Amino acid sequence: MRYFLELAYLGTAYHGWQLQPNAITVQEVLDQKLSALLSEPVYTLGCGRTDAGVHASQFYVHFDSSKNITDNLITNLNGMLPIDIVAKRFVLVHDDAHARFDATARGYEYRMHFFKNPFIDAQSYYFNFKNKPDIELMNAAAAVLIKHEDFECFSKAHTGSGTSICKINYAYWEQTPEGFIFKISANRFLRNMVRAIVGTLLDVGIGRINLADLQIILESRNRSKAGTSVPANGLALVSVDYPIGYLANEL
Write the pLDDT tens digit of every residue in 176-211: 999 999 999 999 999 999 999 999 999 999 999 999
Span 131-154, average pLDDT: 95
Mean pLDDT, the chain, integer:
94
For 2-102, which CATH class?
Answer: alpha beta
Contacting residues for 245 by C-beta, under 8 A, at least 6 apart: none
Whether residue 160 is predicted with pLDDT greater than 70 in this model: the reply is no
Span 125-136, average pLDDT: 92
pTM (2 d.p.): 0.94
- Does CATH place domain 105-238 in 1.10.150.650? no
Whether residue 154 is predicted with pLDDT greater than 90 in this model: the reply is yes
Whether residue 28 is predicted with pLDDT greater than 60 in this model: the reply is yes
Instruction: Report whether 19 contacts 25 (CB < 8 A).
Output: yes
What local confidence, expressed as pLDDT, does residue 158 receive? 53
Q: How confident is the model at residue 161 (pLDDT cuts 50, 70, 90)?
A: low
What local confidence, expressed as pLDDT, does residue 250 receive? 87
Where are the domain boundaries for CATH 3.30.70.660 in the chain? 105-238
Percent of the chain with pLDDT over 70: 98
Active site members: 51
SS (H, E, C) the chain: CEEEEEEEECHHHCCCCCCECCECCHHHHHHHHHHHHHCCCCCCEECCCCCCCCEEEEEEEEEECCCCCCCHHHHHHHHHCCCCEEEEEEEEECCCCCCCCCCCEEEEEEEEECCCCCCCHHHCEECCCCCCCCHHHHHHHHHHHHCCCECHHHCCCCCCCCCCECCEEEEEEEECCCEEEEEEEECCCCCCHHHHHHHHHHHHHCCCCCHHHHHHHHHHCCHHHCCCCCCHHHEEEEEEECCCCCCCCEC
Span 157-166, average pLDDT: 73
Span 72-96, average pLDDT: 95
What local confidence, expressed as pLDDT, does residue 54 receive? 97
Where are the domain boundaries for CATH 3.30.70.580 in the chain? 2-102
Instruction: Report whether 15 contacts 98 (CB < 8 A).
Output: no
